[in-house]
Amino acid sequence: MSVLIDLSSDTQTRPTPGMRRAMAEAVVGDEQKGEDPTTNQLQDTVAQLTGKEHALFLPSGAMCNQIAFRLWGRPGQTILLHETAHPIQYEAGGAAALSGLQLTPLPGARGKFSAEDLARHLTRTSRHNPKSACVSVEQTTNRGGGAIWTLGEIDAVADVAAANNLPLHMDGARLMNAVVETGISAAHFAARFDSVWVDLTKGLGCPIGAVLAASAEAIEEAFHYKHQFGGAMRQSGIIAAAGLYALDHHVTRLADDHAHARRLGAALQTMPGVKVETDPIETNIVFFSVAGTGLTAPAFCDRLLAESNVRLGPVDDTLVRAVTHLDVTDQDILTAIDALHTFLTQTKNGTAP
């Protein structure tokens, strides 16, 4: 059978030969003592990239969010963020379990909330209401289909947060996708934020790791929580080297992923039974509904995988997600489009074989 084309997530990349070489050759030491030169170099690089004083290498993006929330919140307080945000949907209730924090979901199209909606929630300040701890923004939005927060949208939300003395946190899992798509630097995007992190394991193609950046004081405290959460490592230069390699070699090529997503989306628009929900396609994520095929999203994805070795991700009963990344070539996108076309022509109107 043909090779698997995995569009289920941009976490499905494998380290490239060049990245593996960089990892094998990494100079290492004890990270917990601040003596791993490669980890230190990655932290310095990300601090500079995001325009912050210091940065901290962590095992995962989820830990970046959880440590930032612990930094900014006290038990019983609430974090304000979009209702589809990763910490609400996919972090196993971490904010409640680890830090005693609750999460206030804000509405809005494409994973973004408005300054007005944020302000409306912050006006509730009687003794009955939870105190707000921080405001969190996802760049780009995952469940919002890779949408980019514009500088104007960020400024409006940042003004409300500042007026209420609230720290502003960026879940920058895909910040570099926004940077490449807009030409706006990571530091410029992050300027109004008190904490920001980038994931190394999404489009950047690393096997492990994410880096949280903030003021020197906040990062010093974050290191304490890194120990507390069990995330402090030893010779982490082996994996930090992958991050440095990715920042050198895998950033500008994210533009290819965006072109691939647009090509896939445009092709899907001409196919029967499906409806593209991500409009416009801004980066590397495309959501589409399969309600018109007579199949549920999980059945659709199972059968497409079985018949043509193209993997997509079911999100709920009718919605499917396709994500482009480093391991998906021009030819893979054409092959996936062909496979979808064949499959959809056969399954039109529920007459699936």
Q: Give residues in contact with ligand PLP (CB under 6 A).
A: 60-62, 86, 138, 142, 171, 173, 199, 201, 210
Q: What whole-number distance in Å separates Cα of residue 339 and Cα of residue 210?
A: 34
13 or 335: CB nearest ligand PLP: 13
DSSP symbol at 317:
S
Q: Residue 20 CB, nearest distance to ligand PLP (Å)?
A: 20
Q: Residue 80 CB, nearest distance to ligand PLP (Å)?
A: 16
144 or 237: CB nearest ligand PLP: 144
322 or 339: CB nearest ligand PLP: 322
201 or 335: CB nearest ligand PLP: 201
Q: Residue 17 CB, nearest distance to ligand PLP (Å)?
A: 23
Strands 5-6 and 310-311: parallel
93 or 272: CB nearest ligand PLP: 93
6 or 199: CB nearest ligand PLP: 199
Q: What whole-number distance in Å separates Cα of residue 81 and Cα of residue 79?
A: 6
Q: Residue 153 CB, nearest distance to ligand PLP (Å)?
A: 16
DSSP symbol at 236:
T
Q: Residue 19 CB, nearest distance to ligand PLP (Å)?
A: 17
Q: Residue 167 CB, nearest distance to ligand PLP (Å)?
A: 18
Q: What whole-number distance in Å separates Cα of residue 233 and Cα of residue 24?
A: 17
Amino acid at 26: A
Strand order in the sheet with 132-138: 54-58, 210-214, 195-199, 168-172, 132-138, 78-82, 102-106
Cβ neighbours for 215, distance < 8 A, ≥ 6 positions apart: 52, 53, 54, 194
Q: What whole-number distance in Å separates Cα of residue 332 and Cα of residue 255?
A: 16
116: enclosing H helix or E strand: helix 115-122
Among 92, 89, 14, 103, which Cα is nearest to 315's? 89
CB-nearest residue to ligand PLP:
61
